[in-house]
Structure 1
Amino acid sequence: MIDAMDKAAGLSPDDALFKARRFRPEFVNGAEECRLSVLRPANDQGLSADLRLALAYRMAVLNADVALTEEYGSQLARLGPTGQLSALAQGKTDLDEPLATIARHVDLITLTPDKAEARHIALLAEAGLNNPRIVALSELIAFVNFQTRIATGLRLLRSA
């Protein structure tokens, strides 16, 4: 079965790299389970599916990942996001709160994670995010950035 990571990397079942990934099925399954848990959790903690996809799209664009940008963009389009969420996805920061603070935080962690400090978490709380929402947002940011890096690495290996 092709998972989201295979799809993002352009792998098919006849590729040697696809088969090599299956030597460690716990990594393949774990990444897919993590993807589902951050994009479609049983309890969204107040971060709706369209918000999660708008943020995933934004991070894919920031990471210049064309495949993931297309994938997250099509998923988001199927949900018919609001104007604010569309603007968020497109990289805007002049948004209503808490979206403006969330956008700045996502950009910071995606582009310059070494500059992140405790005060940035405090800004999320000041914008109205409670601890479970901050954790859920952090999990989403971590996964999408992980996914873009793994997909890029797989593409590089595939082209070698």
Structure 2
Amino acid sequence: MNDAIDKAVGLSPEEALYATRRFRPEFVQGAEQCRLSVLQPANEQGLSAELRLALACRMATLNKDAVLTADYDAQLAAVKPAPDLLALAAGETALAEPLATIARHVDLVTLTPATAQAEDIRKLEQAGLNNPQIVALSELIAFVNFQTRVAIGLRLMRSV
């Protein structure tokens, strides 16, 4: 089974790195299950699939991962999102609330996670997000940033 990380790296079953990833099948399966749970959860918690894809595209772009950016951009285009979500995905910052606060938070945690503070969560609450939405957003941020770092690392290993 090829997962989204294999796809992002361009791995095929014939490659040694593909087989190496399968030494830890729970990692491969777990990463794919995590991807599905944050992008297509059974309960969206009020964070639509379109919003989640727009944020994933934004984070992939911030992480300078052209392959994942293109993949998330294509997924987003397929669901025909509203213009504000296209702007969010494209990195715009002049957005209506709560998107502006969500974008700032995503950018902060993606680019400078060590500077995030409890006050940043309060800003999400002030923008109208409830605790389950903040947790869901945090899970999405964690996964996409994890995914980009794993893909970058595997691409480096592949180039050796």
User: Following the alignment from structure 2 to structure 1, what is the Cα–Cα distance between the partners of residues 90 and 28?
Assistant: 30
How is 1:67-146 mapped onto 2 (pairs within 5 angstroms)? 67-146=67-146
Q: CA deviation at 1:64?
A: 0.4
Q: Percent of pairs identical after alignment?
A: 70
Instruction: Give 5+ residue unaligned stretches, structure 2.
Output: none
TM-score normalised to structure 1 length: 0.99
Partner of 2:58: 58
User: Following the alignment from structure 2 to structure 1, what is the Cα–Cα distance between the partners of residues 73 and 153?
Assistant: 22
4+ residue runs over 3 A deviation: none
SS at match of 1:19: helix
SS at match of 2:140: helix
Partner of 2:10: 10
User: Following the alignment from structure 2 to structure 1, what is the Cα–Cα distance between the partners of residues 94 and 120?
Assistant: 18
The CA deviation string for residues 26-81 of structure 1, in whole angstroms up to 9 with x for no partner, is: 00000000000000000000000000000000000000001100100000000111
* Structure 2 residue 19 is the aligned partner of structure 1 residue 19: yes
- 2:112 maps to amino acid: T
Q: CA deviation at 1:10?
A: 1.1
Q: CA deviation at 1:93?
A: 1.0
User: Following the alignment from structure 1 to structure 2, what is the Cα–Cα distance between the partners of residues 83 and 4?
Assistant: 26
TM-score normalised to structure 2 length: 0.99
- 1:52 maps to amino acid: R
Instruction: Give 5+ residue unaligned stretches, structure 1.
Output: none
Q: CA deviation at 1:4?
A: 0.3
Partner of 1:29: 29
The CA deviation string for residues 79-121 of structure 1, in whole angstroms up to 9 with x for no partner, is: 1111110100000111110000000000000000011000000
User: Following the alignment from structure 2 to structure 1, what is the Cα–Cα distance between the partners of residues 2 and 26?
Assistant: 15
User: Following the alignment from structure 1 to structure 2, what is the Cα–Cα distance between the partners of residues 92 and 141?
Assistant: 17
User: Following the alignment from structure 1 to structure 2, what is the Cα–Cα distance between the partners of residues 121 and 26?
Assistant: 32
Partner of 1:47: 47
The CA deviation string for residues 117-156 of structure 1, in whole angstroms up to 9 with x for no partner, is: 0000000000000000000000000000000000000000
* RMSD between aligned residues: 0.4
User: Following the alignment from structure 1 to structure 2, what is the Cα–Cα distance between the partners of residues 71 and 144?
Assistant: 12
